[in-house]
Structure 1
């Protein structure tokens, strides 16, 4: 009798243990399902992009990298010494912006930050003046002004500046070019001049070998006007010709090719040293 009871007890314990071992896989399976659920919730949350915030971050990064002290140019990069908050100034020489920041309990702006703010105000004022000039002189179909992350872009049609296949400025464009020069004199930044063409090959009668020469000579003509006739500082300018490599219109249509033949003058968001 005792032996039978002992055997039954051993069998019950053995069956109980075997039952536990059979059910243990459910714990691992439940953990796996829970982790997968958490993973997909995280992936779903990351996939919901806030477009407005993304554009703000993108513009901020572009502004920072385009205006920083370039390592290639011999500087120290974005984190150069001029951005250090440890700037020793005469206590009586603080700007109105710094005083206002102190009153609000905020840290005062550095000299570089104040310079960027000043430049941005100048660029916005420049854009308003050019837009008003274009409107007053009914040049909307010849000159287009845009505020881009890299700076204020002024696009001039080749019909306004040049005769077909030539790189000499038309006499009728001198007034507008002189107006732009008068506005550029007030700025302390770099101005980029770029020549562009359509994809049509140069005719044999032309003195230019190809569209690369034509686009470069047209950009150079605009630069020469600012330097030779308007006596602007050459250190504030750069120029290049891109031929048909950067089209803005469809080269398969006459309207698109006309849009591609242009000179772009961009006042860069970039502080001079």
Structure 2
């Protein structure tokens, strides 16, 4: 019995000694996989690398206007890289004809950028129209010496044309002065060529309405003044009413300090804003 027990102990101890080989084999396998992966990641796509380096060489050559800074320099690409002047891309590209959308589309096509979308083209056309409108209004104001009565500004919401109440109305009234028709007709002729919304806003100072006025308060007066300007464009100029909107804000949107006479004068105004329909 004792001999059998000794034999079984010897065979068990032999199996325990061989178990380290399993762990060792696993470790060797993992190391082999690791180095295979590292080797695969270290390999470069030589064709893409060559294309990138030649493109960089050509760009540096064109930007410097003379010899390429990469020519003959083995530090980046080696001595076997051809000169930029020998590459077919170095020859000047033919000038692209302008695209129907304008010079910007042609420039993008020539530079390899995607062409402008319809929205981008519409936005640029809108900005060009607004810039021309502002230029013409400023020219009209200067030629007619109306610098103290009409102010033009390019605001985020659109081109804002501010008309002083002294230019348009008598004190406390909303009927247009006869002399204001010439300027409103000029503005109306410019608006007729635009396909956009035009907002007309009436503003007053914070002084209460006198009892002799037909309007209850500044809300009614500011709204009536904006409506008078709107009626001129629609009834007299026969412009499309769908392109207009109006509102009266009383003294809630002051442009200056109401504590001074000069500030109150600036606040009594009508603002005509040619709205931007598209935002970039």
Under a length normalisation based on structure 2, what TM-score does the superposition of the two structures give?
A: 0.62
Alignment pair present for 1:240 and 2:247: yes
Q: In the alignment, which residue of structure 2 is the partner of 1:227?
A: 234
Q: In the alignment, which residue of structure 2 is the partner of 1:209?
A: 216
SS at match of 2:190: helix
Instruction: Tell me which of 147, 154, 168 is aligned to 1:147.
Output: 154
Instruction: Tell me which of 113, 117, 122 is aligned to 1:115.
Output: 122
Q: In the alignment, which residue of structure 2 is the partner of 1:260?
A: 267
Q: In the alignment, which residue of structure 2 is the partner of 1:31?
A: none
Q: In the alignment, which residue of structure 2 is the partner of 1:159?
A: 166
Q: In the alignment, which residue of structure 1 is the partner of 2:101?
A: 95
Q: Measure how far apart 1:94 and its partner are.
A: 4.8
SS at match of 2:141: helix
Q: Map of 1:115-134 to 2, 5 A cutoff?
A: 115-134=122-141
Q: Measure how far apart 1:170 and its partner are.
A: 0.4
SS at match of 2:145: coil
Rg (Cα) greater in structure: 2
Under a length normalisation based on structure 1, what TM-score does the superposition of the two structures give?
A: 0.64
Two-structure CA RMSD over aligned residues (Å): 1.2
Number of equivalences? 179
SS at match of 2:197: strand
Which blocks of at least 5 consecutive residues in structure 1 are unaligned? 1-92
Partner Cα separation in structure 2 for residue 144 and residue 95 of structure 1: 33
Alignment pair present for 1:169 and 2:176: yes
Which runs of 4 or more aligned residues in structure 1 lie more than 6 Å from their structure 2 counterparts after TM superposition? none
Which blocks of at least 5 consecutive residues in structure 2 are unaligned? 1-98
Partner Cα separation in structure 2 for residue 142 and residue 94 of structure 1: 41
Greater relative CO, 1 or 2 (CA 8 Å, sep 6+): 1
For residues 75-107 of structure 1, the C-alpha deviation after alignment (integer angstroms, 9 at most, x for no partner) is: xxxxxxxxxxxxxxxxxx953443432221111
